[in-house]
Amino acid sequence: MFKFPAAAIAAVLLAAGLTVSPASAATSDSHTSTDNSKLSCKLDVSVSGGKVTVSWTITGATKASIDPLTFKGGVPLKGTQTIDASGGLTIMLVAQDAQGHTVRCSADNGVMPTPSPPPVVGGSAGQQPA
């Protein structure tokens, strides 16, 4: 039995003007700095019913940011935050050590963004081409 890849199915649906909103999906990413082997990040993003849960672990960093999340004070080295999200969402974690070395992790919620309507070709809006 032949199975179509999920990305191919999503591309066909997107071309037809439809969007895919999975009931649950997950992506993750992890990296270690090439300049400092003690500087690393791990990022997990999961989706369930319109809620996106972001979990992360950072080691060896003195400061970090996780876009689009917000924090009072600084980003904790380990944590979880749940946010409401509709449409496509990419989470970007950037961690930096005291020497200025950085490491980046990114993951998305697996939902394709809603496409823009196609442009009107020929004539002005509301007029039919001759």
Per residue of the chain (130 residues), give pLDDT as tens: 444 444 544 454 445 444 444 444 668 999 999 999 999 999 999 988 888 999 999 999 999 999 999 888 889 999 999 988 777 788 999 999 999 999 999 998 876 555 556 666 665 555 555 5
Sheet containing 102-108: order of strands: 63-67, 90-96, 102-108
Query: Residue 109: which residues within 8 A CB-CB, separation 6 or more?
Result: 25, 27, 45, 47, 52, 85, 88, 89, 90, 91
pTM here is 0.66
Six-digit token string for 73: 């004070």
